[in-house]
Amino acid sequence: MKLLEGKTALVTGASKGIGRKIAEVFAQHGANVAFTYLSSVEKGEALEQELQSFGTKVKGYRSDASKFDQAEQLINDIVAEFGTLDIVVNNAGITKDGLLMRMTEENWDDVINVNLKSIFNVTKAASKVMMKNRKGSFINMSSVVGVQGNAGQANYAASKAGIIGFTKSVAKELGSRNIRANVVAPGFIKTEMTDVLDEKVVAGWEAGIPLKRGGQPEDVANACLYLASDLSSYVTGQVLPVDGGML
Ligand SMILES: NC(=O)c1ccc[n+]([C@@H]2O[C@H](COP(=O)([O-])OP(=O)(O)OC[C@H]3O[C@@H](n4cnc5c(N)ncnc54)[C@H](OP(=O)(O)O)[C@@H]3O)[C@@H](O)[C@H]2O)c1
């Protein structure tokens, strides 16, 4: 069964990792998919080609989600190209880890701007389209770290906790227009973002996960598929952990 037939989705930060898999699973389920990337231009262009095989409309955009003007332009371009927008997955994210005593102002600002301000930018622009349509689903990518904190990630944890407060507020504001907003909170997922971590640190984390393993991008993509589809039509303002039981 194709769960997103006839719907148009935007996935931010889809050149690799979790976002890439979300774009793939959505196209597989019949969605027309717009997606963004920033520095990984070749990977973004390759994904656009690859997703053509599912037979839906797919287009990649080079767009910096942390920039308000670019987000607004992106949504205008998508509506001009696709005609509408039903689903937004705010997935773009970065880490710039360091203990508080060594964390620079720049590392704080960069992480807050890319992970949190981006969600304001894209959601504000996209909600205008959804309000006219009187339907829509926002899925915002947080992290278990946004719920429980993590030493060395004060900037990242603050951005991911902010996403939860933002999403719950938007769910309350836009619910009467039939627009839902939910959060996915992944635990430890194997991607380029986590490839940089020390093997011993990873082994320690995995030992503490009830399912005793890290997750795959597909695990997160399937949770997004549920929240994007009508299967979750009475679910809004929620945080769905995809973490092997970590939380
Ligand atoms: N992996 C995990 O264990 C884990 C756990 C919890 C939450 N998450 C969250 O899940 C999301 C995806 O993580 P991932 O592991 O897939 O990371 P990843 O492999 O590093 O991919 C990050 C994606 O974000 C894009 N991006 C970064 N800055 C951007 C910007 N300013 N504008 C637009 N796109 C931008 C990157 O595009 P370019 O490469 O083209 O710049 C890339 O496509 C992030 O929000 C992350 O915080 C991940």
180 assigned to some structural domain: yes
Task: Decide: 60 in ligand 1 pocket, CB within 6 A.
Answer: no
CA of 47 to the centre of ligand 1 (A): 15
Q: What residue numbers bound the domain in which 36 lies?
A: 8-242
Q: Is residue 42 part of a domain?
A: yes
The reply to whether 64 falls in a domain is yes
Whether 117 maps to a domain, the answer reads yes
State the CATH number of the domain containing residue 231. 3.40.50.720
| Average pLDDT of the residues in 15-27 | 98
Quote the percentage of the chain above a pLDDT of 70: 100
Nearest ligand 1 atom, CA 217: 16
- Give domain status of residue 130, yes or no: yes
Q: What is the mean pLDDT of the chain?
A: 98
In a domain, 97, yes or no: yes
User: Closest Cα to atom 25, ligand 1: which residue?
Assistant: 13
Residue 49 lies in a domain: yes
Mean pLDDT (whole number) for 1-29: 98
Share of the chain above pLDDT 90, in %: 97
Reported as a single tens digit per residue, the pLDDT across 45-85 is: 999 999 999 999 999 999 999 999 999 999 999 999 999 99
CB of 9 closer than 8 Å to CB of 32:
yes
Kindly state if the Cβ of 13 falls inside 6 Å of ligand 1.
yes
Gap between the Cα atoms of 149 and 167, Å rounded = 18
Cα 185 from Cα 27, distance rounded (Å): 22
Confirm whether 123 is domain-assigned: yes
Q: Does 196 sit in the ligand 1 pocket, CB within 6 Å?
A: no
Report pLDDT for 224: 99
pLDDT at 201 over 90: no
Count the domains in the chain: 1
**What confidence tens digit (pLDDT) does each residue in 76-132 have?**
999 999 999 999 999 999 999 999 999 999 999 999 999 999 999 999 999 999 999
